[in-house]
């Protein structure tokens, strides 16, 4: 396997061919904020938080789906990127209905965390207040589309780790939303094994366990890591 | 040294931010040495928002005509306007009525559909202020100088925001302690 050498923020890095810029940055200890990235499932570049600057191109590239190349020069935290990241988070907040104070994930939410990380003290974009649904037809879980940022982690974790493929994305643009089965109520989808991996994968309070109230959502992210390690490295103990 | 003219106003919020302000406990006594409270639902009994206010904490979003009138007056007569808490910064829980799409469906839902006995819409011009179509965060109506999120902002955050102002400095609104929503 060949090795590629590149610079991230001026520091020389060597990593195997085919790795992503995000993997190279993580290996070098350079923090890049992410929301849709989830260890163990493939990357889609949905949230745009991991945008980086690469010499030779004027476009900003998402680090999670950009492969490393020989001689690449990457900047991860320029003022331009900081400004775009803050705008991205503000757009996520103003697009949906994110009311932290009454959310199951308050205090344990990756969207809330990145808002702090990018220094968002208010949104400069007008809130849309879209009319979105809540589906509590499943006996154990619920999905509140108001809190969904369309990261598609649930779609990928259900398809790639559980192998059930309950979730998909319907519609286009601002009208997009996550559907279960063939756009059926979640409780009527036979394919759902009630494994709860989507609850553990969801970065916000959009998918939750019934009965948990404000600030009570807990995730077992280690369970996902364990399953991926078990499958890829054949390590069966936790 | 002249005392800082200090005000707090309560718009469309639950008063929780003001309760958190009272949680400053004994530091309120220290604060009182630096400020003159010229308008506040919890700090004094004056009924008119005065001219030349130095610092004003604004709790709540803009939900009705009274809120709108007061916030315009506050902005005209205040040097440093602080959006105080999530309702002022994001419109928060009061704005959850915005998803119903306008004042009329909200009033119908609350007073007609859910009215148990003699359901009727409130109508008292000049006494009950009319609802605006949407609840708005303060900065969508007037310019804001400092944003202090939180539901409510903890007392420590309120102190860390106000204390630098007493010495003529602006607070640094960064990090989990200062800008976590919710």
CB contacts < 8 A, A to B, total 67
- Residue B85 · residue B36 · CB < 8 Å: no
Sequence spans of domains, chain A: 3-76, 84-233
- Neighbour-count burial of A181, counting CB atoms closer than 10 A to its CB (0-12 exposed, 13-18 middle, 19+ buried): middle
Q: Does domain A3-76 have CATH number 3.20.20.70?
A: no
Q: Where are the alpha helices (H) located in chain A, listed in sequence order? A: 21-27, 79-95, 110-117, 153-157, 197-201, 221-233
CATH of the domain at B48: 3.40.50.700
- Cα A68 to chain centroid distance, Å, stands at 21
Residue B157 belongs to some domain of the structure: yes
Residues of A in contact with B97 (CB under 8 A): none
Residue B122 belongs to some domain of the structure: no
Residue B120 belongs to some domain of the structure: no
Share of chain B above pLDDT 70, in %: 99
- Residue B158 · residue B21 · CB < 8 Å: yes
**Which residue in the set B140, B179, B182 is minimally distant from A101, CB to CB?**
B182
Residues of A in contact with B174 (CB under 8 A): 119
User: Hey, which bits of chain A come out as E strands?
Assistant: 3-8, 11-16, 51-54, 60-62, 73-75, 134-135, 141-144, 167-170, 177-180, 207-209
CA quadruple A168, B95, A119, A101: dihedral, nearest 10: -80
- Cβ B182–A93 below 8 Å, yes or no? no
pLDDT at res. B1? 63
B137-163 mean pLDDT: 98
Residues of B in contact with A99 (CB under 8 A): 90, 92-93, 95-96
Compute the distance between CA of residue B140 and CA of residue B151 in angstroms, rounded to an integer: 19
* Whether pLDDT at B35 is above 80: yes
Q: Which chain A residue has its CA at the smallest distance from B140's CA?
A: A126
The CATH number for A84-233, chosen from 2.40.30.10, 3.30.70.20, 3.40.50.261, 3.40.50.1980, is: 3.30.70.20
Single out the residue of A177, A191, A187 nearest to residue A210, CA to CA: A187
pLDDT at res. A224? 85
* Whether pLDDT at B164 is above 90: yes
What six digits make up the tokens of A161? 């780790």
* Whether pLDDT at B94 is above 70: yes
Residue B89 belongs to some domain of the structure: yes
pLDDT at res. A232? 86
CA quadruple A103, A111, B140, B20: dihedral, nearest 10: 50
- Note whether A126 contacts B: Cβ–Cβ < 8 A: yes
B44-84 pLDDT, tens per residue? Answer: 999 999 999 999 999 999 999 999 999 999 999 999 999 99
- Note whether A122 contacts B: Cβ–Cβ < 8 A: yes
- Cβ B176–A116 below 8 Å, yes or no? yes
What six digits make up the tokens of B98? 């915005």
To the nearest whole angstrom, how far is the Cα of A2 from the nearest Cα of chain B? 41
* Whether pLDDT at B173 is above 70: yes
pLDDT at res. A221? 81
**Which residue in the set B90, B147, B180 is minimally distant from A116, CB to CB?**
B180
Structural domain of B172: 4-97+132-179
Which residues partner with B56 through β-bridges? B7, B81
- Note whether A129 contacts B: Cβ–Cβ < 8 A: yes
Compute the distance between CA of residue B173 and CA of residue B14 in angstroms, rounded to an integer: 23
10-residue mean pLDDT profile of chain A (238 residues): values are: 94 96 96 95 96 96 98 97 98 97 96 97 97 97 98 97 97 95 97 96 97 90 84 82
CA quadruple A72, A73, A76, A77: dihedral, nearest 10: -170
Q: Which chain A residue has its CA at the smallest distance from B175's CA?
A: A116
Number of domains in chain B: 1
- Residue A137 · residue A185 · CB < 8 Å: yes
What six digits make up the tokens of A70? 């020989």
What is the strand order of the sheet A141-144 is part of? A134-135, A141-144, A207-209
Compute the distance between CA of residue A25 and CA of residue B67 in angstroms, rounded to an integer: 49
pTM assigned to the model? 0.94
Name every residue whose Cβ is closer than 8 Å to that of residue B91 and which is 6 or more positions away in sequence: A127, B12, B61, B62, B98, B135, B136, B137
pLDDT at res. A238? 73
B125-138 mean pLDDT: 95
- Residue B85 · residue A118 · CB < 8 Å: no
ipTM of model: 0.93
Average pLDDT of chain B is: 96
Share of chain A residues as helix, strand and coil, in percent rounded to the nearest 5: 30, 20, 50
- Cβ A99–B96 below 8 Å, yes or no? yes
Tally Cβ neighbours within 10 Å of residue B103.
Answer: 17
**Which residue in the set A99, A107, A123 is minimally distant from B92, CB to CB?**
A99
Task: Band the pLDDT of B21: cuts 50, 70, 90.
Answer: very high
Residue B118 belongs to some domain of the structure: no
């Amino acid at each position: 396997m060949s090795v590629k050498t590149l610079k991230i923020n001026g520091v020389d890095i060597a990593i195997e061919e085919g790795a992503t810029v995000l993997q190279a940055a993580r290996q070098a200890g350079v923090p890049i904020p992410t929301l849709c990235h989830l260890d163990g499932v493939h990357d889609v570049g949905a949230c745009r938080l991991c945008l980086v600057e690469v010499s030779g191109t004027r476009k900003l590239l998402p680090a999670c789906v950009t492969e490393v190349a020989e001689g690449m020069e990457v900047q991860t935290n320029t003022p331009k990127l900081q400004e775009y990241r803050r705008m991205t988070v503000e757009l996520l907040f103003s697009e949906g209905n994110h009311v932290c104070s009454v959310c199951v994930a308050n205090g344990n939410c990756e969207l809330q965390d990145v808002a702090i990380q990018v220094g968002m003290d208010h949104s400069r974009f007008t809130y849309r207040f879209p009319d979105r649904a809540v589906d509590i037809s499943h006996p154990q879980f619920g999905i509140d589309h108001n809190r969904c940022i369309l990261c598609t982690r649930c779609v990928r974790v259900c398809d790639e780790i559980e192998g059930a493929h309950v979730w998909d994305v319907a519609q286009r643009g601002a009208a997009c939303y996550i559907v279960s089965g063939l756009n059926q109520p979640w409780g009527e989808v036979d394919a759902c094994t009630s494994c709860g991996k989507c609850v553990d994968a969801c970065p916000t309070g959009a998918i939750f366990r019934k009965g948990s109230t404000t600030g009570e959502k807990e995730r077992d992210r280690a369970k996902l890591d364990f399953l991926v390690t078990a499958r890829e490295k054949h390590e069966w103990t936790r | 040294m002249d005392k800082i003219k200090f005000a707090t106003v309560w718009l469309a919020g639950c008063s929780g931010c003001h309760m958190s302000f009272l949680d400053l406990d004994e530091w309120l006594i220290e604060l009182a040495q630096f400020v003159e409270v010229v308008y506040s639902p919890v700090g004094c009994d004056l009924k008119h928002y005065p001219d030349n206010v130095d610092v004003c904490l604004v709790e709540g979003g803009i939900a009705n005509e009274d809120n709108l009138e007061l916030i315009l007056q506050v902005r005209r007569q205040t040097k440093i306007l602080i959006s105080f808490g999530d309702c002022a910064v994001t419109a928060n829980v009061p704005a959850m009525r915005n998803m119903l799409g306008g004042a009329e469906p909200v009033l119908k839902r609350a007073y007609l559909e859910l009215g148990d006995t003699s359901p009727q819409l409130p109508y008292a011009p000049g006494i009950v202020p009319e609802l605006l179509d949407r609840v708005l965060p303060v900065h969508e109506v007037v310019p804001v100088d400092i944003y202090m999120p939180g539901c409510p902002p903890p007392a420590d955050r309120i102190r860390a925001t106000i204390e630098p102002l007493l010495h003529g400095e602006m607070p640094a609104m960064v990090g989990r302690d200062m800008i976590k929503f919710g």
